[in-house]
Chain A
């Protein structure tokens, strides 16, 4: 009876995992009729190897296999497999971890590498399930040797295994199954009849196949056994010999015992006997395996019948038997032991049940809310106490049920060692993968959703991030690259970090690419900060790869990653340092089923707004002196901290009652206006509602298909009072209100976004020179940072110079000029130089040390009378002096502008009107470097004075000039006949302000961002050119 017993134990040790138990009612039709089962033998099993995947509930996935066998009759497994198409392996975790040993898999080049492992898992499960069924079929076949359907089913099973293992590169297994298949094919075609001897031989083959599968599962390889003897016997049988002959009988006996003797196959013995004894009716089985084979048919049949009996009489019996079997199995080998010990504490539960449970808990939470609401009006102390208790229990229950849906992120991560190894191998790179926090748990749906983005990022890191060992050695790094994945909980969210120590991403290269592909206009790209440049990688169509490899580089990747992460309410951020590596950080919520939301009311209806989209709440008291809603051609806007926030009236968008009122009327009607500032797709808008009620944890329920067309709703939920409330889809709402463009104009959005950043923040270069510990200069003025060895510095007259880019670069000793005392620059080697340029001319300022480049909002705190210093400001928490570049240049080289001295006389006169002397200084610097003559004015009064005193070609005015309102200033200038044609460039602090003010009587001729030097210069040049062209005309007139 060995075959069966071996088989059963093998089944337990290499358990067929069930992906997700099907949602059909349990149909125990096991052994009812052969034709039924034959139906399950799908004509082609190959497709089932790769089908829908991943429905398996995680925490059970590890080890459920054993459990599953325990609880579910085999027949049902089969049925389920058939229904579900594919399986995932729990039991093959060991195999998964030993990925590296699957080196032979590389023989199949046309297969996606990381999927191979998945396929092996499925192959194992599938095969084990099939084999389990095969035993029974063989036995049945003996009774009805001519049953063609049965034979076909057996044949198909063997054929499937053969085909798959050939495909996966398991040679030995393939050879064995191939011979078995040959023999079966003879049987099927009626060339020979089944004899007990043949059955024994075939069953034995099945056992061997199971052994090999077990070996594959634990070690990842077939093992050293080649089973030549069995192959020979099979071959012989195919050649027409009947293995029933005594000689063959002995031989068959010798086969397995030989296997058992082999130290590489220590499991066989135990696997062969022990469990069987306990499992099958405790049927006495004193004889060792080898003696059994003499008359195998009878006991095998009995056993099979017993299985059948148990199965049909209900799962309970089998369950009991299986658990004892399991106990026996646990002692068999180490991996099996760990598995079953975990299995004892876990139960496999269909995902559908958990979903239902989750729904019910959702209901319970709602009912609880209602009860609590109700009890506040009651005075029954008993009721109050009970409802408190109900409250506590419900909360706890909710938390625990949520837990059942949690999966460790390791479920997804487990495949990465293999991915990384394969990619590294393919690219000739050595990559170590480190994973921290694989046990961090996430909701199942989220795990599914982040799988692909994570894979993409990992591939990117391996393919583009980490360099080849040679490149790394050249950079002085360790030859082995390192990829670190970390996951951890933080503030109700899960953070996932993927960091590599590779080449990093060159922001300039990204910028170039983006400009090249027209994703970002040149001028915008020019003033991007490094971080902004890095985030360009998320634009669609951008790839940094020089060439497209089969792994990545097609430019459809990071944008998809971002979209996917954002779809589940997450965010993604990238940080990179050239030469040091790249870190990608993803933040995702723990679950999607229950979300925090803000409840708002409008026209008597309540709406829930997911908090993910919520930015802030603004309440406007009408009639007060504060900011009010303004209208641009009927479109309401609100100035939120100086920026125009487009407003959307919820009642209008949703066509609720009260929407018929005229714009201003509706606003006036209410005493106050509630604005919910929302973010959708990088666009911010304000949603005007009647009231903001509360925040609540809501259970998201999908809307009926009948309402699917309404993109403004994300679903519905039941509120505490039992009424239904709709959940707004902020994105859809934005589209409906035309706030968010229907087709995502990413570049446009990105541009706007950057412009805002540039306007609000300034990037400055911090450095040290002599006694001045912190000096700063706006980075926009800096051309390059260089290091020159002392040996390169030459003397030219009284100046020190270096040859630099086919030019002579004058070096200006900053410490000396500003009398900052001794400078380390004298002794330092190499010398640190900040290079400034104007057209083709360059100048180097020697400093002691470059400290940092920071980007922040800088407000000048004090002005100074010190020569060469424009003023002081607090930068990164420290007082920092801003150097006056203009002074430096003048002081160092009177002839700096020498070459263009005449031009300068010709140069247009520009009146710079700017309140801050520091900013004014910067503008003067820029304008003078561009060859303009600059007149300065600090207030509106001063502007008017200066304009009267001298002729000005172009005026550059800040919009926040102290004194009158900019529009008033404009008006007072425009009314002067001489000045009505004066081109005026407005400098705004934010991108919004640069847009023309609709309805204003007088407009600026142009408007630019204040700290955007290039745009300002271009604009001034353009305006100056207009003046020179126009003047003759005016004179004629």
Chain B
């Protein structure tokens, strides 16, 4: 990421910041608490690759919701960080209910 031509220097975003950002976005779109969502970053042919692991909010069509969430997370992270996101892979580990009861 380069600054404008009138500004010398460069803006760098650390991997840690990217991970936190992607984690918050993923938690928001999955409807799960950020504490339980984990995001790994990788490279996919020069683009950013997201590896999301976490629960999803209870719904009728979980697969459909997860697929939609993957696309939304990809677009949102791309818009927020200015990086091209190549792939978002979601691994569901459980369901979060409204009342926050524990799910086995």
Q: Do A and B bind each other?
A: no
Interface residues of A (CB under 8 A from B): none
Interface residues of B (CB under 8 A from A): none
